[in-house]
Structure 1
Amino acid sequence: MKALLISLLAVIGSQAVAQTTVPFDSSAWIYEGKVTKESFQGKDGIRLTDGRITLKDNTFKNGIIEFDMTLSPDRDFPGFGFRMQDKDEFEHIYLRPHRVGNPDAIQYIPIFNGQDSWQFYYGDGYSTTVNYPMNEWVHIKLVVRESQAEIYIGQSTEPSLVIHQLKREPKAGRISLENGAPITTRFANFQYTKTDNPPMAGKFKPEAAPQLGTLLNWQVSSTFDEKLLQTDYTLPQAVASRLTWSNLTAENSGKLNISRIRKRNEEANTVFVKLTIVSDKPQVKKLDLGFSDRAKVYLNSRLLYAGHDEFLSRDYRFLGTVGYYDAIYLDLKKGPNDLWIAVSENFGGWGIQSMIADQSGLTIKP
């Protein structure tokens, strides 16, 4: 009798997390862009271009999201958002059908303050190789639990992308389906399940500890126009004197995502990040640096370095991804040394990655 009761409770529990199917003609959606009801290859759905549709339900935190979609081989970035707080704050998954078979055919990024960040987040845990069928239905499934998620493509029982660490705080929000281009993308059979314990098959990795010498603690200024730095070879005091500052901690990788606390626009696309290096004697130390999109490095108010790593700035294949690709040798005086880095952004990721591997004789503070 006890065993029967346990079985009945298990059945009731499974029903409590049943899937919710939401037709696309339901009032449960908010429509933006061009949405056309359409039947294609035996499935009723919508054709979506130049916009998104957003579910009004704002309580999805953990669980499963599933739908079917069609893809075109043209350059496009259709996908979906989840845990949306608003249009500028959400977790984002999108597909690159024109990159089918390549290591970046699918992408996860966090959206902070409306800013893309694919130049920051790439490779294992963020993007991977997928082979999509074109112009026919393919099933997409997300499973998410707290700070971990996995994506299934087609009927595979193994996840195509394992997201080891979602970058935003786990917080309930809305779900959206998106296609920002005029290229045809269709969606059908949308459903979702809210449950705190969805089954997951991925092999998740813990976040690695910071490398020795990683610079984690910075101050970040208010935003200003990059043009104010174009003619000076020393730190412009007229700009510096009117800035306000906030503390920001980098991720363990050393990547400092400025968009977490700052919103850029065309007239205010730059911030300074700064820290103080106290040296016990005059000495030279190597600063390893990555950045997106442009950086100017000042030591004790003197300009030492300027770099440009924006998308396509070197050739048609240059992505501008952030890594330790540059090095600067800091000629430190005894005592405090002020390190300021101006970081300017177009799109794709706003911030730096930095390390001073040899910190002997140094005290570093924001």
Structure 2
Amino acid sequence: MVRFEENNIQAVGSTYSLVKCNHEPVVRVVKDKAIMEDDEPTYAKMLDSDFHDGTIEADVLSRLLPDAPDHARGFIGIAFRIAADDSAFEAFYIRPTNGRAKVQLRRNRATQYFSYPHFKYMHSRESHPGEYEAYADMELDKWIHLKITVQGEKAQLYLHHQKQPVLIVNDLKHGDSRGQIALWVDIGTEGFFKNVKITSLSSL
């Protein structure tokens, strides 16, 4: 498990704090309100991470902030292979409010892959509708286990310790790259992270 301390984590487009949630030590991350665009570098970055291929796991929980806008969905996830200057990265995230929405289209958009800066959610919806989003059951204010597997230009997102992925990406937009890992949130989210585990392919 990754041990979080002040000297190994950096806030980028966000604020973070080491707090307790239900008596457990966790990392709390909130997006900087000055950043209005979606799918941006708004995360707590693990400075000592250097990730190429392997798995990333974390338990995440999101709540809506009191001033969250109507389009907030509890956005929370993991960014990986982050460039040193935060100019490029890959990411998976979830929208917990969509998991049990009464509208099927919103359910279909419960999980999301995006690639910064040129392949955000709106780009994938325009060019490849439905290919980089998928349904999964989830709720706000509940711990959700995420697992991301990465190898070369392919990545898969798993939820709830299930054996099958909920979302498959066969063409990561930055190709076979490497970089740091971060705990990512977007607008209106109070995000909590715990039990972060990183396993490189060489040690699997």
- Tell me the TM-score normalised to structure 2 length: 0.76
Counterpart of 2:75? 77
Counterpart of 1:30? 10
SS of corresponding position for 1:170: coil
**Alpha-carbon contact 1:88-1:114 (below 8 Å) kept:** no
**Alpha-carbon contact 1:145-1:197 (below 8 Å) kept:** no
SS of corresponding position for 1:67: strand
* Aligned AA (1:137): W
SS of corresponding position for 1:158: coil
* Aligned AA (2:15): K
Higher-Rg structure is 1
* Aligned AA (1:118): S
Counterpart of 2:30? 49
5+ residue gaps, structure 1, are 1-20, 199-366
Q: Distance in 2 between matches of 1:63 and 1:166?
A: 14
5+ residue gaps, structure 2, are 32-41, 65-71, 101-106
SS of corresponding position for 2:48: coil
SS of corresponding position for 1:133: coil
Q: How does 1:278-317 map to 2 (within 5 A)?
A: none
**Alpha-carbon contact 1:83-1:172 (below 8 Å) kept:** yes
SS of corresponding position for 2:198: strand
Q: Distance in 2 between matches of 1:26 and 1:194?
A: 24
Identity percentage of aligned residues? 23
* Aligned AA (2:194): A
Q: Distance in 2 between matches of 1:59 and 1:46?
A: 20
Q: How does 1:152-301 map to 2 (within 5 A)?
A: 152-195=158-201
* Aligned AA (1:75): R
Counterpart of 1:246? none
**Alpha-carbon contact 1:109-1:121 (below 8 Å) kept:** no
Q: Distance in 2 between matches of 1:109 and 1:63?
A: 19
Deviation at 1:42, TM superposition (A): 4.5
SS of corresponding position for 1:27: helix
Deviation at 1:196, TM superposition (A): 5.1
- Tell me the TM-score normalised to structure 1 length: 0.44
SS of corresponding position for 1:177: strand
Deviation at 1:167, TM superposition (A): 2.1
Among 5, 15, 21, the alignment partner of 1:40 is 21
Q: 4+ residue stretches of structure 1 with deviation over 4 A?
A: 113-116
Counterpart of 1:112? 117
